[in-house]
Structure 1
Amino acid sequence: MDLELGVHDLITLNGEERPEAAYIRTAEFVKEIEAMNFKRHWFAEHHNSPTHASVSPELLTAYMSAITSKLRLGTGGTMIMHYSPLKIAEDFKTLTALAPNRIDIGLGRAPGSGSNEIVALAQGKPNAFDDQYDKIEVILDYLLDQRAASFYGNTKAAPLGVETLPEPWMLGSSGQSATKAAEMGLGYSFAKFFGLETDPAVFELYRKQFKASEFFQEPTVMVSYMVVIADSQEEADYLAKPIEMQQIALRRGRMIRNADPEAVKDYEFTPGEVDYLNNNQAKRFILKGTPEKVQRLIEEEQALLGINELLAYSPIFDPQKRLDSYKHLARMFNKI
């Protein structure tokens, strides 16, 4: 089956790695991803995180678009609750004028942060928007140079008359936003690696209710998975162990840095931890194993959910092993 491929990047920090080194490493990785004919590369928005350096995805998108030529760059996502619709629209109209037909905006309704960060980003003021979908409508009107609702219609989002549009996607992790994505004529991007299940009927409902728009003519489903691919199952388990330890720690309310797998190879998971990890694999939150195994899992997911695009989040500690995992994925679907 045909499948477009992309990257979901949180810029996971390795060990004691400094942010500057992580950004340099990421820039080189983005160039490699483009050479492997991946379609897009998205950056997340996570505030006050000791474990990830993807804080300002719009700036990362701008920088990476300048060092690439065909790869689509974007945000997965822009956490719209924190920002003015005018500012969001002007940022992305500027980006798409600089990199025509290569800019995406993932419209996220979650905070991407804890309660303290929400207050700090809002300068201590209560959120002015009760309905995030109304806010998305304003952003879309601004992107189209149309008059926006309420007092927002008293101004326009510059630059005006940009020849190409950014590609807006509705982000979701529970399935609730799928019908809204269909109603607005947006692509629907589901983050399965967050560890939340959704009934396949949600994706079918999105396709059935989809209304064509200036942004998308047809319904398009994207799903993000955590992916670790290696030549053997044993190597995949070895490379994934620090990532799985991070997931267990996060479940317990702690955030730990990504470790060298060699440093944690002797750690033994408790029976409860083993059950948790096995559940993640059984529910396809993580796709881990040989190329043959992972390809089979992806094809099953594609048939079940009707996936048009897959975004892979593969925070493997060793940069070359990480790149190898993405190369395996590219070969599966004849990108290289």
Structure 2
Amino acid sequence: MELGVHDLVTLNDGETPEAAFERTKRFVQEIEKLNYKRYWFAEHHNSPTHASSSPELLAAYMSAVTSKIRLGTGGTMIMHYSPLKIAENFKTLTALAPDRIDIGLGRAPGSGPNEIVALAQGKPNSFDDQYDKIEIILDYLSDQQADGYYGRTNAMPQGTSTLTQPWMLGSSGQSASKAGEMGLGYSFAKFFGLETDPEVFKQYRNEFQASRFFEKPSVMVSYLIVVADTQEEADYLAKPMELSQLALSRGRMIKNVSPEELKDYKFSEQELNYLNNRYDKRFIIKGTPEKVQSILEEEQQLLGIDELMVYAPIHGENERLNSYKHLAKMFNKI
């Protein structure tokens, strides 16, 4: 199973954006050494807790300080942007870093209603057909003639030696069939906390049609994962993320604090019930390498996972890297 990183560039409490980006650069370079296949940046607007609002720029910068790992967006929220501009951004990136650039095609806003209007230059977003827009983007990415008035303009640069690799993003299973029909990879964000029938992934494979981007179906699933030498250490390191999950469930966002600050914090019975439910449904996974590997192997069999994407905003740099090292060893990458 291939491994990848899903990063929201979660800000630690008191951390500047500059420090977060410098820390992220060091982390991407270390992840490359661990032979992870790809590293994706999310798109979130007006979020005080995350610094990944322009994932294309982050991917571009990181491609210049690495040599082999694939870089991309998980995702690009296409409702906000012109298909031409999206395609030209990624064709340019692909020319700069051949065979190393991905685009995660997201149909959600990645923001609230005010941000949607701001991104649409003060006008209500028309919410045109997102799948039609994806078809136009795919035509542009592969130098094909687009439909309608888009066909009057070519997306530049043309004739790149490799193509951007497009993935359909999903968190509820609704887009799986379309991903198969279009011949795209299917990337499912399980850490979003939405239950999906395993049949969705079978449906994707059954309906897959080979395309200029993918010869065969490819399923990627993202989890929030914390791995440590002992269960006690995993519980300790995961506590800030658990608190963030609870805050999100109440409509709030909080910055990532040190686990040491929370060592004496006691979850209420109601909070524990919420968190245990998320662990039981495997939206979040934590524990020793043996425990985590057992869970992931079960998930791989259940969902037919080809690639595991890991979201783990652990507070300490060394502790975060060690968690990803455990996963690399688990799947024989190092």
Q: Name the TM-score class by shorter chain.
A: over 0.9
Q: Is the 8 A contact 2:116 2:125 kept in 1?
A: no
Partner of 1:68 in structure 2?
66
Partner of 1:200 in structure 2?
198
Partner of 1:179 in structure 2?
177
Return the offset for 1:130.
2.0
User: Partners of 1:94 and 1:333 in 2: how far apart?
Assistant: 33
Q: Is the 8 A contact 1:6 1:38 kept in 2?
A: yes
Equivalent pairs: percent with the same residue? 74
Q: 2:210 aligns with which of 212, 215, 218?
A: 212
Partner of 1:13 in structure 2?
11
- Residue deviations 1:273-308, cap 9 Å, x none? 100100010000011000000000000000000000
Q: 1:92 aligns with which of 78, 83, 90?
A: 90
Partner of 1:265 in structure 2?
263
Counterpart code for 1:327: K
Q: 1:141 aligns with which of 129, 139, 142?
A: 139
Return the offset for 1:127.
2.5
Return the offset for 1:163.
1.4
User: Partners of 1:43 and 1:182 in 2: how far apart?
Assistant: 23
User: Partners of 1:131 and 1:64 in 2: how far apart?
Assistant: 32
1:241 match: secondary structure: helix
User: Partners of 1:234 and 1:149 in 2: how far apart?
Assistant: 57
Q: Is the 8 A contact 2:56 2:73 kept in 1?
A: yes
Q: Is the 8 A contact 1:129 1:135 kept in 2?
A: no
Counterpart code for 1:147: Q
- Residue deviations 1:105-162, cap 9 Å, x none? 0000000011110000001223244210010000001011111112111101000111
User: Partners of 1:272 and 1:237 in 2: how far apart?
Assistant: 18
Q: 1:299 aligns with which of 292, 297, 302?
A: 297
2:188 match: secondary structure: strand
User: Partners of 2:153 and 2:126 in 1: how far apart?
Assistant: 18
- Residue deviations 1:295-335, cap 9 Å, x none? 00000000000000000001000010000000000000110
Partner of 1:241 in structure 2?
239
Counterpart code for 2:32: E
Counterpart code for 1:321: E
For normalisation by structure 1, the TM-score amounts to 0.99
Counterpart code for 1:217: E
User: Partners of 1:197 and 1:232 in 2: how far apart?
Assistant: 29
- Residue deviations 1:153-212, cap 9 Å, x none? 110100011111010000000000000000000000000000011100000000011000
User: Partners of 1:146 and 1:335 in 2: how far apart?
Assistant: 37
Report the number of matched residues. Answer: 334
- Residue deviations 1:6-36, cap 9 Å, x none? 0000000011100000000000000000000
User: Partners of 1:26 and 1:126 in 2: how far apart?
Assistant: 35
Q: Is the 8 A contact 1:104 1:168 kept in 2?
A: yes
- RMSD between aligned alpha carbons? 0.6
The reply on whether 1:51 has 2:49 as its aligned counterpart is yes
User: Partners of 1:151 and 1:236 in 2: how far apart?
Assistant: 54
Counterpart code for 1:325: S
Counterpart code for 1:60: L
User: Partners of 1:260 and 1:28 in 2: how far apart?
Assistant: 20
Q: Which moved more, 1:259-268 or 1:124-133?
A: 124-133
Structure 2 gap segments, 5+ residues each: none
The reply on whether 1:320 has 2:318 as its aligned counterpart is yes
Counterpart code for 1:299: E
Counterpart code for 1:285: F
Counterpart code for 2:99: N
1:334 match: secondary structure: coil
Q: Is the 8 A contact 2:117 2:125 kept in 1?
A: no
Return the offset for 1:228.
0.2
User: Partners of 2:132 and 2:289 in 1: how far apart?
Assistant: 43
Partner of 2:39 in structure 1?
41
User: Partners of 2:251 and 2:226 in 1: how far apart?
Assistant: 24
2:5 match: secondary structure: strand
Partner of 2:80 in structure 1?
82
